[in-house]
């Protein structure tokens, strides 16, 4: 069948909307009609070559849509199911997957950025030219084929136009707190960066009853939103010794610091600020080859934790976040701007890069 898709054909160039062919799903795969997709900074990183994506490629990895067809052997989904397509690309066969940690899949990087689906082949074509996949889903296409293991069934009454961002950015921030760190009531938290990931971490810290919850950013409007969503204290990092300010608010340092930006200097601040026995949790995607310098001796009394996709099992965690949202405890919809039409995906990306929009959503 034919579908319209936003295609990256050249680095540092805009996405172009074009019609391409999409093949029927193979064994273990489903065809999804995308209703909406979040736009993530990782998509933009691929556009600039910061993360790999063999060209040409259809980007997007925060999709929400409806299953239109299932391939042979699919067991958990059927035609008509509503799904969120998780960004946790995993093989289900390696040691990490078999031990219940799909977010640490040993084949995850190759599946995410290799340009194919799980079997290494592609389902998109433009004439005789094959078009690559991204995160096993390519949610910037109106119709796409995904492995059943990344498609999370959700209740039909929920608005697909809003829930796609739980697939990556918002789930990553919330999972950093609830899964990777396991923050408990009364523990102190500092969050570096008040974008989609950081604000999701703040909302999750509020769910965990952490206190205090400190938000750090350089934009006052982001800090105000952080306070509205659960931060008890805010620090504008412009012209401030951030480490000293955090330690003053926490009597020597927080139990947890969440770095949600991906810069060497803020990673260093996150590690430096935590108290002895505390943990710095790194969620920000740092450019390949970039180095972070840490003072050696204090590290024997601190923990540095990586946070990949919120350390989540998607079939369990996305429904949990949806339940919290419906109860009013995780109001992630406040991070979403006015939806963009598919044809305006370039405007959605520009709005995110400028900071005007925290989490853009494209609807089809």
Indicate if 336 and 302 belong to the same structural domain: no
Specify the pLDDT at position 349: 96
Indicate if 111 and 148 belong to the same structural domain: yes
Indicate if 191 and 67 belong to the same structural domain: no
Specify the pLDDT at position 297: 87
Listed residue (249, 289, 241, 307) closest to 268, CA to CA = 241
Indicate if 27 and 92 belong to the same structural domain: yes
Residue 314 inside a domain? The answer is: no
Q: Which domain holds residue 227?
A: 170-308
DSSP 8-state secondary structure symbol assigned to residue 336? B
CA 339 to chain CA centroid, Å, is 18
Q: Six-digit token pair at 139?
A: 């949610």
Supply the CATH number for residue 133's domain: 3.90.180.10
Write the CB contacts of 175 (distance below 8 Å, at least 6 apart in sequence). Answer: 204, 307, 309, 310, 311, 312, 317
Listed residue (168, 100, 112, 103) closest to 321, CA to CA = 168
Indicate if 346 and 240 belong to the same structural domain: no
Residue 277 inside a domain? The answer is: yes
Indicate if 175 and 300 belong to the same structural domain: yes
Into how many domains does the chain fold? 2
- The pTM of this model reads 0.95
Indicate if 25 and 116 belong to the same structural domain: yes
Q: pLDDT tens string for the chain (364 positions)?
A: 999 999 999 999 999 999 999 999 999 999 999 999 999 999 999 999 999 999 999 999 999 999 999 999 999 999 999 999 999 999 999 999 999 999 999 999 999 999 999 999 999 999 999 999 999 999 999 999 999 999 999 999 999 999 999 999 999 999 999 999 999 999 999 999 999 999 999 999 999 999 999 999 999 999 999 999 999 999 999 989 999 999 999 999 999 999 999 999 999 999 999 999 999 999 988 877 889 999 888 889 999 999 999 999 999 999 999 999 999 999 999 999 899 999 999 999 999 998 889 999 999 9
Indicate if 355 and 280 belong to the same structural domain: no
Supply the CATH number for residue 251's domain: 3.40.50.720
Indicate if 180 and 158 belong to the same structural domain: no
Contact 72, 25 (CB under 8 A): no
Indicate if 284 and 358 belong to the same structural domain: no
Indicate if 13 and 127 belong to the same structural domain: yes
């Amino acid at each position: 069948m034919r579908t319209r898709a936003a295609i990256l054909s050249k680095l540092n160039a805009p996405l172009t909307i074009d019609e391409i062919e999409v093949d029927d799903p193979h064994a273990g795969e489903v065809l999804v009609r995308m209703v909406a997709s979040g736009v993530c900074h990782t998509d933009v990183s691929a556009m600039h070559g910061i993360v790999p994506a063999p060209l040409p490629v259809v980007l997007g990895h925060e999709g929400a849509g409806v299953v239109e067809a299932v391939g042979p052997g699919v067991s958990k989904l059927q035609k008509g199911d509503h799904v969120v397509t998780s960004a946790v690309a995993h093989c289900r066969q390696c040691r990490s997957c078999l031990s219940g940690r799909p977010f640490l899949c040993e084949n995850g990087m190759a599946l995410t950025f290799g340009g194919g689906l799980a079997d290494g082949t592609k389902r998109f074509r433009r004439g005789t030219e094959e078009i690559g996949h991204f995160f096993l889903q390519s949610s910037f296409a109106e119709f796409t084929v995904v492995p059943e293991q990344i498609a999370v069934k959700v209740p039909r009454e929920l608005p697909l136009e809003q829930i796609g961002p739980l697939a990556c950015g918002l789930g990553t921030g919330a999972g950093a707190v609830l899964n990777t760190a396991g923050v408990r009531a009364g523990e102190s938290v500092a969050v570096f960066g008040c974008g989609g990931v950081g604000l999701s971490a703040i909302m999750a810290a509020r769910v965990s009853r952490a206190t205090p919850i400190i938000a750090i950013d350089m934009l006052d409007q982001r800090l105000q939103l952080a306070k509205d969503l659960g931060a008890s204290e805010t620090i504008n990092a412009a012209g401030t010794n951030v480490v000293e300010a955090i330690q003053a608010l926490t009597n020597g340092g927080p139990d947890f610091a969440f770095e949600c930006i991906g810069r060497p200097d803020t990673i260093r601040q996150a590690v430096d600020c935590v108290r002895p026995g505390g943990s710095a949790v790194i969620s920000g995607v740092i450019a390949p080859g970039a180095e972070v310098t840490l003072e050696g001796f204090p590290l024997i009394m601190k923990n540095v934790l990586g946070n990949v996709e919120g350390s989540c099992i998607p079939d369990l965690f996305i429904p949990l976040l949806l339940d919290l949202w419906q109860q009013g405890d995780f109001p992630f919809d406040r991070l979403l701007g006015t939806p963009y039409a598919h044809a305006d995906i370039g405007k959605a990306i520009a709005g995110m890069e400028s900071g005007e929009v925290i989490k853009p959503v494209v609807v089809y």
